[in-house]
Amino acid sequence: MGIALELKAVSRRYGATVALNGVDLDVEQGQAVAVLGPNGAGKTTMLSIALGLLSPDEGTARVFGRLPAEALKRGEVGALLQDAGLLDDVRVAELVAAVAGMYPRPMPVERVMQAAGVQDLAGRRVGRLSGGQQQRVRFALALAGDPALLVLDEPTVGLDVESRRALWQEVRARTAAGRTVVFATHYLTEADDYADRIVLLADGEIVADGPVDAIKSLVGGTEIRFRTDRTDVSRFERLPGVRQVRIEGRTVALRTGDSDATLRTLFATFDAFDDVRDVRTASTDLESAFVSLTGGQER
Ligand SMILES: Nc1ncnc2c1ncn2[C@@H]1O[C@H](COP(=O)(O)OP(=O)(O)OP(=O)(O)O)[C@@H](O)[C@H]1O
């Protein structure tokens, strides 16, 4: 399989803000790639560069070996962007048909409407739809040209459970057929459930890149969580195996490389820890990995 998207040493600034700083990325055809990161990490900037809507200040972007804008023109790329404006006065089916008509090899309109779950809205005016319904229309427009690369920026924002499920079903069907999907999301479970690979951005740089399990194992270890009345970090950081202590309200989360040793000491010295209760252990989940690798920061 070839490379669908290639970014080489891509940087982009807005005035003094460095939105992307030397990003390298190769996305193979047939992959579903989730781009994750805190607010302001550079996700939208990266996707906009992949779509040719923004130019990098430095570095190069290629889509199927061409300049992104060229690939877009050839109908190889479909996009769903945050808050993209829609024509208000047209009816849904007309809009989908008009957009499909601009592509060389569109999907049949009926099939697009069904995949995006907008058949029931066919005769409705776009401007009178609810936020979630409009988001489904945006997804339909992204699919209309049957693009080999689909780029989705927070595609499920505002969608109800059933619409989200339908969207991910279409994404999986496309990647199973060798098409490529790159999406940004703040819902880590979506990345966990539907992405083959996660690219984690923080402060404009890729801080982790790989399959979900590899990202989790970068942080590694086990998490022990419990409730306590006395949440000072120093009580827990000297327990054997403990690498990191986080306080979340009345809950303490310990990341440990040796959960048996940590728990043994916690319970063996029960007098010192008699306020500890509701102890739970779990292997590192994506959320913990995210917080750990991005420093949990927001700009
Ligand atoms: N048009 C713009 N003018 C000035 N600064 C911008 C502009 N667009 C983005 N930025 C800045 O560039 C950085 C990256 O923004 P970007 O929108 O790519 O982040 P993001 O990861 O998509 O964030 P979010 O999760 O909030 O959508 C941020 O610091 C943002 O404030």
Domains and CATH numbers, the chain: 3-211 (3.40.50.300), 221-283 (3.30.70)
CA angle 3, 213, 178 (to 5 degrees): 30
Distance CA 196, CA 247 (A): 32
Which atom of ligand 1 sits closest to the CA of residue 201? 21
- 140: CA distance to ligand 1 center in Å? 26
Distance CA 47, CA 201 (A): 12
| pLDDT confidence of residue 298 | 36
- CA 56 to chain centroid, in Å, comes to 21
| pLDDT confidence of residue 95 | 95
| pLDDT confidence of residue 239 | 93
- 266: CA distance to ligand 1 center in Å? 44
Ligand 1, atom 5, lies closest to the CA of: 14
| pLDDT confidence of residue 85 | 79
| pLDDT confidence of residue 84 | 74
E-only strand ranges, 16-125: 17-28, 32-36, 58-63, 77-80
* Positive/negative CA dihedral, 221, 281, 291, 26: positive
Ligand 1, atom 29, lies closest to the CA of: 40
Under a CB-based contact definition with an 8 Å cutoff, are residues 55 and 29 in contact? no
- 44: CA distance to ligand 1 center in Å? 7
Which atom of ligand 1 sits closest to the CA of residue 154? 27
* Alpha helices (runs of H) in the chain, residue ranges in sequence order: 43-50, 68-73, 92-100, 109-115, 131-143, 161-176, 188-194, 212-219, 259-268, 286-294
- 132: CA distance to ligand 1 center in Å? 23
pTM equals: 0.85
ipTM for the predicted complex comes to: 0.97
Under a CB-based contact definition with an 8 Å cutoff, are residues 46 and 22 in contact? no
- pLDDT per position in the chain (299 positions), as tens? 699 999 999 999 999 999 999 999 999 999 999 999 999 999 999 999 999 999 999 999 999 999 999 999 899 999 999 877 778 889 999 999 999 999 989 999 999 999 999 999 999 999 999 999 999 999 999 999 999 999 999 999 999 999 999 999 999 999 999 999 999 999 988 999 999 999 999 999 999 999 988 888 887 778 899 999 888 888 899 999 998 898 888 899 998 888 899 999 988 886 778 889 999 988 777 887 888 888 754 33
Distances (CA, A) of 194 to 16, 85, 171, 190: 36, 27, 8, 6
Which atom of ligand 1 sits closest to the CA of residue 48? 18
**Amino acid sitting at position 299:** R
Q: What is the largest CA-CA distance in the chain?
A: 74
- 30: CA distance to ligand 1 center in Å? 28
Strands 32-36 and 197-202: parallel
Residue (of 185, 138, 255) closest to 34 by Cα position: 185
- 82: CA distance to ligand 1 center in Å? 12
Ligand 1, atom 3, lies closest to the CA of: 14
Ligand 1: which of 17, 82, 200 to mutate, judged by most atoms within 8 Å of the beta carbon? 17
Ligand 1, atom 30, lies closest to the CA of: 40
- 191: CA distance to ligand 1 center in Å? 21
Ligand 1, atom 4, lies closest to the CA of: 14
Contacts with 254 (C-beta within 8 Å, 6 or more apart), sequence order = 223, 224, 225, 236, 239, 242, 244, 245, 262
- Write out the two tokens for 145: 């040209």
- 92: CA distance to ligand 1 center in Å? 31
Which atom of ligand 1 sits closest to the CA of residue 20? 14
- 153: CA distance to ligand 1 center in Å? 13
Q: Which residues line ligand 1 (CB under 6 A)?
A: 14, 17, 19, 37, 39-45, 299
Residues 88-123 as b/e (b if ≥16 CB within 10 A, e otherwise) read eeeebbbbbbebbeebeebbebeebbebbbbeebee
CB atoms within 10 A of CB 28: 14
| pLDDT confidence of residue 41 | 95
